[in-house]
Amino acid sequence: MANAWKIARKSNAQLPLVIVIALAVVLVLLGKAQHGLFDRVRTHVTDAMAPVLVKVRGPVAGFDRWIGSITEIFTIYQENLKLKEENARLRQWRNVAIVLQGRVGRYQALLHAVPDPQMNRVLARVIGRANRPFLQTMILDAGRGSHVLPGQAVMDSRGMIGRIYLAGERTSWVILLTDLNSRIPVTIASSSGKATNIQAMMTGDNSANPALEMVSRTVTLHAGDQVTSSGDGGLLPAGLPVGTVMADGADGWRVALLADAASSQDVEILNFSKPPEALPVNAQLPAEAAGLKPQPPQPPVAAAAPVTPPPQPQAPPKPKPVPVESPPAAPDEDQDR
């Protein structure tokens, strides 16, 4: 009886395994024979379960948002603390900037310095971008109708982006600082304090960081030095923020730009060129401005008639010499004898 019970238990335990293997073989054969059968079944099941999934998804999504909001509370709290510290530092620098601005104003008044020229700003929106193998540009919705001219600088809230190189009536094209054809003079403020106003040329090469070509080979740069426009040539104003110096290999230097042209939407166009000053209508001469009486104008000199020189007396002609005939020779007496 015990042996029969063991055989029965062994047969009952192996029967489900055999059935599962047989069903698996049948399903594999059906899958090969009917390739789209399981796909259709899957789609029908999904369509039938769609309302249930939509109803279940609402509470699950709400629970996920609730869990995420708990984690975001701590993140926002940390960011709020950092922003408060940064705001306090910015207030300190603002006070320093106000004091320095007043001091510079007093120094300029004492030295009778010529004030910096005022720049007109035109706000424009980026309406297109073009990244070609040899040209990186963007299109703005402001042109000559808004007093936009080629050569003007284009800025965003962080720094300089490029220059206007083509201006239409309502649109303009900007050549970016990273473009292969971009070359602008810049000034580098050394952070070490040993050298100031280092002159260089920033050239684009279609990479994210333009290269620096040093004017003088004797200066030494450091990573983090501030790069601004130098204003050489008179097209760009001096002091526009451009970026910071970064090392490129052993001896090369590049510029990490402050502005990101790929994410800029609203930009400013700086109208730095000034029209020539017109002469006032009632302009005074330098002598009148100094309090001196103007000299009376001299009367015009009349043209004198040409004077004919008197005829010179001619000398009488010299008489020609008259030839004198010599007397005939006397006959020789010896010959007569």
Structure confidence by residue, pLDDT tens digits, 7-45: 444 445 455 778 888 888 877 776 666 666 666 776 777
Reply yes or no on whether the pLDDT at 314 is more than 70. no
pLDDT for the residue numbered 186 = 92
Model confidence pLDDT, tens digit, residues 60-118:
777 777 777 777 787 888 888 899 999 999 888 888 888 888 888 888 888 887 766 66
Kindly report the pTM of this predicted structure: 0.52
Highest mean pLDDT among 64-78, 163-177, 226-240: 163-177
Residue 307, SS3? coil
Model confidence band, residue 154 (pLDDT cutoffs 50, 70, 90) = very high
Q: CB of 137 within 8 A of CB of 151?
A: no
Q: Is 329 among the domain residues?
A: no
pLDDT top residue among 285 and 180: 180
Q: In this structure, is residue 25 part of a structural domain?
A: no
Q: What percent of the chain has pLDDT over 70?
A: 68
Q: Classify residue 229: in a domain, yes or no.
A: yes
Mean of pLDDT over the chain: 76
Our measurement of the distance from residue 138's CA atom to the centroid of its chain's CA atoms, rounded to an integer in Å, reads 11
Average pLDDT over residues 148-176: 89
pLDDT band at 283 (very low <50, low <70, confident <90, very high): low
Residue 57 lies in a domain: no
Instruction: Flag the least confident range among 126-130, 177-181, 195-199.
Output: 195-199
What does the pLDDT read at residue 221? 82
332: confidence class by pLDDT, cuts 50, 70, 90: low
Q: Kindly indicate the confidence band of residue 223, based on its pLDDT and cuts at 50, 70 and 90.
A: confident
CATH code: domain of residue 170 = 2.40.10.340
Q: How deeply is 63 buried, as exposed, middle or buried, from its count of CB atoms within 10 A (0-12, 13-18, 19+)? A: exposed
Evaluate whether residue 33 is within a structural domain: no
The reply to whether 169 falls in a domain is yes
Say if residues 127 and 134 touch (Cβ distance below 8 Å): no
Q: Residue 163 is part of which domain span?
A: 120-271
Q: Is 203 within the bounds of a domain? A: yes
* Cα gap 162→173, rounded to integer Å: 10
The mean-pLDDT minimum among 55-69, 145-159, 167-181 falls in 55-69
Residue 336 confidence (pLDDT): 46
SS3 assignment, position 193: coil
> What is the residue type of 125?
R
pLDDT of residue 236: 84
The string of DSSP letters for 57-100 reads HHHHHHHHHHHHHHHHHHHHHHHHHHHHHHHHHHHHHHHHHHHH
Using the predicted structure, report yes or no on whether residue 293 has a pLDDT greater than 70: no
Query: Reduced to 3 states, what is the DSSP secondary structure of residue 319?
Result: coil
Mean per-residue pLDDT for 219-241? 84
| % of the chain exceeding 90 in pLDDT | 9
Please say whether the beta carbons of 182 and 210 come within 8 A.
Answer: yes
Let me know if residue 115 belongs to a domain.
Answer: no
Report the number of distinct structural domains present in the chain. Answer: 1
pLDDT at residue 277 in the model = 55
